Chain A
């Protein structure tokens, strides 16, 4: 089947909340998903990601904006006319139907001839590894199996797009990792354009072609996992994807393409777009833990600190260092080197200049 793109244009959705009044659940969301790609909506709970997904499915109606599946404007189309596959967080299996009947439900609605129905259901059940489970009922199988039934039921109708609403959140950690690669494998082999909703950043990074970070109803940044990690556009994204240290700084000099800031009496030259940044301005500077190094050598350009915590985690060691009253997390993958550094030891702290980030907006 031909895969199609999904296009959300200026989508708004407001809910009337009993206490808070009007709440903007989704605020001017624009998103274009190319065909056969999987895009994840990632964000904290209440950021509007599930509402956005439900609007694509047709379970909610946007107040403003349009939704296109391929060339077709589906904004005012009922859910049952959109031909989408939806996988619910709680699976929403029909408890009174057997697993075969659950999967065959959509085909029966489409009045597919029995012979073809049987063949297609068996094909899908084989694909998700549930052959032999046909006559069982949802409550008789495990959570992971229920999850696969839900997936099979959604894709057997050969939907134009597949929508997944936190499909793994009810599984235990080990099964989650296994199932997410299953989903990715199916999505890629069937070439299904998909939207995946989760609040788990690791899951998002593992499964997606691209990730859209959402907060307070808005999309903050869209990009691949690498882009979001290494080039976050805001403090919110930087803090939401991975861990990052915050250091206080004062701007000394602004030039085209870089900014010189002073962090605890040491100057650093940060490559960044400099418009809107003034000298003497106080702002925060950010750096990921793996771009901070410890040293014993007393160098000019180094910050001084005391190790307050050291955690050995096998392939890596994590330090917490106190520099002039500011707490800094440092990750090192060189366990041998790390053996030299002990708790309460005074050390030099070296920040990788190129990896320092400053953001004009707070972003949360």
Chain B
């Protein structure tokens, strides 16, 4: 037999897990991955390339032939590129200030706390606040500056709102990268006679380049997938793919058209996924080991430059805070822009007419969190601790729904589960499944991250003492990952609270969500109620975060909550 065949055989047979429990869970997980990830996705692809049973490109050409759709494609790419660039620059500026300019603990906490706000808010928050500030009767444009010709709708607003919303991702990524660079390397460059500027240019920046590229891709993907902001702020003159796909389906009832548009969106989204996974992630010079380099007096910037940087950061943070204060204010006045009398009427609407949406959302988010948690732990455990054939395929497939724009996932579910054999459109199951297989991925990531810190010999020790895989998992693995797991669950919950892009296609009369109600109220121009709903979501999310932090402090477990996973959308 040829050598490679031998190797292959060896790989196949020795890698089949011997433990029946493991084998069974692998089979079950694959069943669900096929059903809830690959099957819906294949539906989009089939619908895109099929017409009366034949392969065809006419569907794509037809859609792209319409000027508006082609424009939407280019607009999406342009917007994503700009958000990627601006957000990375802003994120790097914040990260550099925070890591390298001797910030006091208080300021550092203030910046961290404020910047996180956009990430944990429902997706419309910045957009609504933008309209309150810069709209026709906006607080800044009209009341403060007396302008009433300023047009808040268009590329400039979407760009601004998305940059403010998404740059925290860049900040968190780059902060990790910058603090991973051992300051003694910079000290060494100083001692060789470099000036501060030269050290930055020749040492700090080059070491951060993979991080910058990564952050650009993350922001690009986030902007590409963003549905809520352009829906509110883009207006008619700046169509983008997610909103076009949405309008195609909800406005024109053209499901095939929506599928084709989302397929077109899939191409750049998938490219970014591949680039990020196989190129950038391998270019890191610094690996974050958690082991800090020798403490040195960091001299990267003079204290005056540091103060200037800090001032700029504080001003931007204040702008973010202003948006949230404004949102709250709009929710307690009669009619923002016209009548500033304090009232609770919007909240009364929220808790009467909106009560069903609140209950549904909490119910779905809770169930989604629990199932997503179990799913995340099992898959995370399998892919990081077990070797079996199809392991890396499982890892990649489990990340697909998380990495793709929600619009694609939503449309795929809509198409896939609308007809027999599996007809779950209109039920809570479809929304929960969407959350589990989309946001459960954060549970997988958390589990993998924690498990990587646990020495494999700890489990081997348990085996050698006579415990089987299930006992070991129950008695050793689960207790060790529990605290981190809990924060992972919190992330699933928060994201379920704030999601809209996928689930907007999946709601029904029976099951609706707060975020969808916010959108309804926006389109009905009941901005006060929309603001009240948004405030409520921010409040719930805050309570959850406080709860998680208390829990973590109680158990002092590893794996603090990873904010970069909380991105709404």
Contacts and interface: CB of A to CB of B under 8 A. Distances in A.
Interface of A: 16, 22, 57-59, 61, 63, 78-86, 88-90, 92-96, 105-106, 109-110, 153-154, 157
B353 interface: no
Contacts of A81: 466
A106 B468 CA distance: 11
Nearest to A150: B461
Nearest to A14: B10
Contact of B457 (A16, A92, A154): A92
A153 B479 CA distance: 19
Contacts of B468: 78, 80
Contacts of A89: 457
B458 A92 contact: yes
Contacts of B466: 80-81, 83, 106, 109-110, 157
Contacts of B479: 96
A106 B465 contact: yes
A88 B463 contact: no
Contact of B467 (A59, A109, A153): A109
B151 interface: no
A157 B461 contact: no
**Of residues B7, B14, B463, B479, which shows the largest number of chain A Cβ atoms within 10 Å of its Cβ?**
B463
Nearest to B466: A109
B461 A96 contact: no
Interface string B470-496: 010001100110000000000000000
A78 B461 contact: no
**Of residues B19, B466, B468, B480, which shows the largest number of chain A Cβ atoms within 10 Å of its Cβ?**
B466
A82 B467 CA distance: 11
Contacts of B457: 88-90, 92
Contacts of A22: 7
A157 B465 contact: yes
A86 B458 contact: no
A88 B11 CA distance: 27
A88 B471 contact: no
A84 B455 CA distance: 20
Contacts of B419: none
B304 interface: no
B18 interface: yes
A16 B461 contact: no
B126 to A, nearest CB: 42
Given A22-B7, A58-B463, A78 B458 contact: no
A157 B464 CA distance: 10
Contacts of B455: 90, 92
Interface residues of B, number: 23
A59 B463 contact: yes
Contacts of A105: 462, 465, 467, 475
B420 to A, nearest CB: 44
A86 B460 contact: yes
Give me the 9 closest cross-chain CB pairs, A-B, nearest first: A106-B465, A92-B457, A86-B464, A92-B461, A79-B463, A88-B457, A109-B467, A109-B466, A92-B458
Contacts of B11: 16
A57 B464 CA distance: 7
Nearest to A84: B464
Contacts of A92: 455, 457-458, 460-461
Contacts of B463: 58-59, 78-80
A153 B464 CA distance: 10
Contacts of A93: 458, 461
Contact of A61 (B14, B19, B464): B14
Contacts of B460: 57, 59, 79, 86, 88, 92
**Of residues A78, A85, A94, A153, which shows the largest number of chain B Cβ atoms within 10 Å of its Cβ?**
A94
Contacts of A80: 463-468
A88 B19 CA distance: 23
Contacts of A86: 460-461, 464
A227 B406 CA distance: 72
B464 A109 contact: no
B476 A85 contact: no
**Of residues B455, B461, B464, B480, which shows the largest number of chain A Cβ atoms within 10 Å of its Cβ?**
B464
Contacts of B464: 57-59, 79-80, 82, 84-86, 154
B230 to A, nearest CB: 44
Contacts of A153: 461, 465
A109 B471 contact: yes
12 contacts: A16-B11, A59-B463, A78-B19, A78-B468, A90-B457, A92-B457, A94-B461, A94-B476, A96-B479, A106-B466, A153-B465, A157-B466
B473 to A, nearest CB: 12
Nearest to A79: B463
A101 to B, nearest CB: 10
A56 to B, nearest CB: 11
Nearest to A163: B464
Nearest to A105: B465
A95 B462 CA distance: 12
A154 B463 CA distance: 11
A109 B466 CA distance: 6
Contacts of B14: 61
A96 B10 CA distance: 37
Contacts of A84: 464
B391 to A, nearest CB: 15
Nearest to B472: A80
A170 to B, nearest CB: 13
**Of residues A80, A85, A110, A157, which shows the largest number of chain B Cβ atoms within 10 Å of its Cβ?**
A80
Nearest to B463: A79
Given A63-B10, A78-B18, A88-B460, A95 B480 contact: yes
B3 to A, nearest CB: 8
Contacts of A154: 464-465
A82 B463 CA distance: 10
A339 B18 CA distance: 68
A83 B480 CA distance: 25
A16 B7 contact: yes
